[in-house]
């Protein structure tokens, strides 16, 4: 883990990204870039194992972040979640050569959530903090499986084969890890 920018709290990132959206703030974007670009590149590298492709996909992702910053809503979640979803979509577009099918919040057939939006921005920040702690407390083999299911293009049965452990064990470890993280997210 990169120690130098550990102190950068997530809500500062949120403020920076909002400023990029409102003011095309290049300085704020540079801070975001220096923090997230290596992470996005590492995420891409885990999938492609090709440094040039990973660099290219990272540049593409960060370009979308720059162009779509105005669409970021702090009330919907953290910057890392938002950038993760963009990186994932760039990857799907490139590797599957298709647009990822997604629901449309503005579609008249879309069923809205009744839950009243409270102070979601603060909540999202707190959630991220709880999640970080819960993740640090996960047993290594559970965290490893979680990473594999997010970063590698493989099903649970392919993961089981690669690690030579029973499919049932893969599924139950992932289920356990999820249950813990979900519990952390649902704490109030």
**Subset of residues 37 to 66 that bind another protein, contact rule: CB under 8 A:** 37-43, 55, 58-59, 62-63, 66
Q: Exactly one of 84, 125, 145, 160 binds another protein (CB under 8 A); which one? A: 84
Mark out the alpha helices in the chain (DSSP H runs).
10-23, 26-48, 51-68, 79-95, 120-136, 140-151, 156-163, 167-186
Angle of CA points 122, 78, 124, to nearest 5°: 30
Among 7, 49, 52, 111, binds another protein (CB under 8 A): 111
Q: Which of 14, 77, 142, 159 binds another protein (CB under 8 A)?
A: 77
Measured in whole angstroms, the distance separating CA 152 from the mean position of its chain's CA atoms is 14
- Specify the residue, 21 or 164, whose C-beta has the smaller distance to another protein: 21
Q: For residue 18, state whether it binds another protein (rule: CB under 8 A).
A: no
In the region spanning residues 129 to 168, those forming contacts with another protein, defined by CB under 8 A, are: 131-132, 135, 146-147, 149-151, 153-156
What's the Cα-to-Cα distance from 112 to each of 88, 104, 115, 116, 158, rounded to whole Å? 25, 11, 9, 11, 36
Is residue 46 within 8 A of residue 151, CB to CB? The reply is yes
CA distance 76 to 155: 28
> Total residues contacting another protein (rule CB under 8 A)?
85
| Dist. CA 6–CA 22, nearest whole Å | 26
Q: Which of 27, 75, 96, 172 binds another protein (CB under 8 A)?
A: 96
Sole binder of another protein in the list 7, 52, 108, 187 (CB under 8 A)? 108
CB 84 → another protein: shortest distance, Å?
Answer: 4
Q: Among residues 98, 164, 187, 188, which is the contact residue for another protein, using CB under 8 A?
A: 98
Smallest distance from another protein to CB 19, Å: 14
């Amino acid at each position: 883990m990169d120690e130098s920018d550990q102190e950068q709290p997530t809500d500062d990132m949120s403020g920076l990204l909002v400023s990029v959206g409102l003011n095309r703030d290049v300085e704020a974007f540079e801070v975001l870039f220096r923090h997230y670009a290596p992470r996005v590149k590492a995420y891409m590298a885990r999938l492609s194992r090709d440094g040039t492709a990973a660099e290219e996909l990272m540049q593409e992702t960060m370009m979308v972040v720059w162009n779509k910053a105005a669409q970021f809503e702090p009330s919907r979640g953290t910057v890392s979640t938002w950038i993760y979803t963009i990186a994932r979509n760039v990857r799907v577009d490139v590797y599957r050569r298709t647009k990822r099918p997604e629901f449309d919040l503005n579609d008249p057939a879309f069923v809205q959530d009744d839950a009243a939006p409270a102070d979601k921005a603060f909540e999202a920040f707190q959630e991220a903090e709880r999640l970080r702690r819960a993740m640090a407390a996960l047993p290594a083999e559970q965290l490893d499986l979680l990473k594999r299911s997010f970063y590698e293009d493989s099903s649970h049965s392919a993961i089981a084969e690669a690690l030579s452990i029973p499919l049932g064990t893969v599924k139950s470890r992932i289920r356990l890890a999820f249950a813990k993280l979900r519990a952390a997210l649902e704490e109030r």
